[in-house]
Chains A and B, each alone.
Chain A
């Protein structure tokens, strides 16, 4: 009897402990999510519930040329950022790790600095540096390509340029993750392998890489999710142009919802983006885990 009461009290305590979290989670995550799903089946504007129109929004979306262009651009942007930023961060982390003491702290601070800047400052800096009329990087372009290039106005240059800005901005955080991972590798493994006559390259492929793999998988997954959500840089640097060559899914959501007042349609696009991110990141994480286990 006492035990049963005890168990009951246990449950009660457990419930009260998780209640604050559940309440906040329900309010700021679960409820909006349910609402987005519901809105995506209505013709709602930005304010108000709207009328149920079934799959109309999704049918429209599948016939929307801009949707496919944006989807393609999201994919292209992922290709341009996810793996490059991971490779660059790993290289920087390996180099920073070889420094010691103050120098290491200084190098780390320098690489981390861009990450603490707000996106509007980052884009402003790059927009000025790359400004077609007065930008300080344009003479460099003139040297290499022979003429100045309005990078955010040129359909071929725009996505790679936004990718460069993004990598410059967010790379510091990945360096930090890699550095933490590298510090977790016991140094005796390197000593032992050195005694056995392993070269630097062998040390990297046989010791560092396998032990660092979980961090690499984490960085890749985080980057994938982050880069699929690209919006700020595009909105601030190119506004999706020229002729939609840098239009992305979240820019569509913004325009439909806040400019065109089509809340329902915007919800449908957001839901598709959400499902896309879930599917791609789960798939990727599973793939990486299988590789890691082998």
Chain B
């Protein structure tokens, strides 16, 4: 009977009789599309190079489904041994108590040290107690894609055809107006009718004014941040009224508006870089494109960013076997050192030795915007913020209607405040 159980378990894990020394690691991630293909290739390569460790990966649905499953399964000891985790989601993970601290020995086993990582990513991966709860893997931030054809003949392209001369809100709006003159139907595309797209623009405009959405001690829009938030909404509403941004564009539509040549600028995450690269290689993009960091519109040179990281969840009431934990850390260390392949998805490696390597520095267009790794602003360190959080709900529920004129900026800020305060209680 016991044999049967062992056999059934082994069969369920998808592996034949494991050798005694072999470590089986269960891996969960949420990567679909191009990201998923790249991650699976990395895992396969790791398995080939490490005969004593066997990683079995499962891809779950991004967002709330992933995090709900992690929370419930880890609590009863049925979770993975290692998983990908958004660092913006870390405060919620700490509140739920599903993450184990990454100790100094862990890092040593992985062959990593804290100094290897960019400061903002490291900070986002740490809890309030200063302990590390995840190992940052990448930094993915918003960037500004631009269509060179639609900007031709304006003062905003330099001799080499690169974006230039945008250093304030006025000059950016002048560029939008000029692109409109040149025939762009929606000069600035972003997902105005979706949660992520609206939120990232709003948060970037707020952060550039040094405004805070939620302070570290849980105050929503502290000090004069309320007025700064209203100012950000006011700017986005103006872009709407002037016809500079598309009305109620969902995520896919916002990409299509840019790739079909209707938009001169496209405000989105660097993860869309492969889309442009592939389309240009296939000859399906009818124009020359470029990518730049988000210009400094409001005074402080920063923009929204988040990181994917690796985290080791709790195993119910049990501790993970030290040998297994070592194998997990070996895996994480290997991933960091091989993150150049991951950078092809448009991300910036969080691991400095790779990010500062000559290979990465010659990788285009990533190198153009790699500088933002040092000055990015992460989501508020609050359980109400981060991926699939009340902040995202508020973006679709309040911010998007507001920029379409259904709410005044001041009313929207009040609604936002009450909704987030409600979520924090």
Partner of A243, one of B68, B401, B422: B401
If over half of A's interface residues share one DSSP class (helix, strand or loop), that class is named, otherwise mixed; here it is loop
**Closest chain A CB from B172 CB (angstroms):** 24
Asked if B95 lies at the interface with its beta carbon under 8 angstroms from chain A, I say yes
From A46, A132, A244, contact of B397 by CB (8 A):
A244
Q: A45-B96, A46-B68 are in contact. Are A243 and B404 (CB under 8 A)?
A: no
Residues of B contacting A260 in the complex (Cβ-Cβ under 8 angstroms): 390, 423
- Chain A interface: which of B151-159, B242-250, B352-360? B242-250
Which chain B residues lie closer than 8 Å to A259 at the CB level? Answer: 64, 68, 388-390, 393
Asked if A20 is at the interface (CB within 8 A of a chain B CB), the reply is no
Interface positions, chain A 209-260, Cβ under 8 Å from B, are 239-244, 255, 258-260
Residue A16 interfacial (CB < 8 Å)? no
Distance of A220 Cα from B165 Cα, bound (Å): 66
Interface size band for A: 20 to 34
Band of interface residues on B: 20 to 34
Whether A239 contacts B396 by the Cβ 8 Å rule is yes
Given A243-B397, A255-B393, are A150 and B96 also a contact pair (CB < 8 Å)?
Answer: no
Binary interface encoding of chain B residues 391-423 relative to chain A, with 1 for a CB under 8 A from any of its CBs, else 0: 001001110110010110000000100100011
A66, CB-defined interface residue at 8 Å: yes
- With the chains together, A278 CA to B401 CA distance in Å? 36
Across the two chains, which residue of chain B brings its CB closest to A60?
B425
Q: Which of B64, B249, B400 contacts A241 (CB 8 A)?
A: B400
Known: A150-B247, A155-B406, A260-B390. A242 touches B397 (CB 8 A): yes
Q: Is A192 an interface residue (CB 8 A)?
A: no
Which of B92, B96, B250, B398 has the largest number of chain A CB atoms within 10 A?
Answer: B250
Q: How far is the CA of A187 from the CA of B59 in the complex (A)?
A: 60
Q: Mark B357-373, 1 if CB is under 8 A from A, else 0.
A: 00000000000000000
Q: Smallest Cβ distance from A241 to chain B, in angstroms?
A: 4
Q: Is the CB of A47 within 8 A of B248?
A: no
Known: A64-B422, A150-B248, A239-B393. A47 touches B388 (CB 8 A): no
Contact A133 B246 (CB under 8 A): yes
- Residue of A with least CB distance to B75: A47
Q: Which of B68, B76, B415 contacts A258 (CB 8 A)?
A: B68
Residues 101-142 of B at the A interface (beta carbon under 8 Å): none
Give Cα distance in the complex from A241 to B416, angstroms.
13
A47 touches B72 (CB 8 A): yes
Tell me whether B226 is interfacial, beta carbon within 8 Å.
Answer: no
Contact (Cβ within 8 A) B68 A132: no
Q: Indicate the member of B71, B195, B396, B397 with the most A CB atoms within 10 Å.
A: B397
Q: Which residue of B lies closest to A261 (CB)?
A: B96
B23 to chain A, nearest CB (A): 27
Contact assessment for A47 and B76 in the assembled complex, using a CB-CB cutoff below 8 Å? yes
B253 CB within 8 Å of chain A: yes
In chain B, what residue has the closest Cβ to A241?
Answer: B397
List residues of B whose CB falls within 8 A of some A CB: 64, 68, 71-72, 75-76, 92, 95-96, 193, 195, 246-250, 253, 388-390, 393, 396-398, 400-401, 404, 406-407, 415, 418, 422-423, 425
Give the 7 A-B CB pairs with smallest separation, nearest first.
A242-B401, A47-B75, A150-B248, A241-B397, A132-B248, A133-B253, A258-B68
Can you show 23 pairs from A to B with CB atoms below 8 A apart?
A: A47-B72, A47-B75, A65-B418, A132-B193, A132-B247, A132-B249, A150-B247, A150-B248, A153-B248, A155-B406, A239-B195, A239-B397, A240-B397, A242-B396, A242-B397, A242-B400, A243-B401, A255-B390, A255-B393, A259-B390, A259-B393, A260-B423, A261-B96
Q: Could you list which residues of chain A lie within 8 angstroms of chain B, going by C-beta atoms?
A: 45-48, 60, 64-66, 131-134, 150, 153-155, 239-244, 255, 258-261
Known: A133-B253, A155-B406, A239-B195. 10 other contacts (CB 8 A): A64-B422, A131-B253, A132-B248, A133-B250, A240-B393, A241-B397, A242-B400, A242-B406, A243-B406, A259-B64
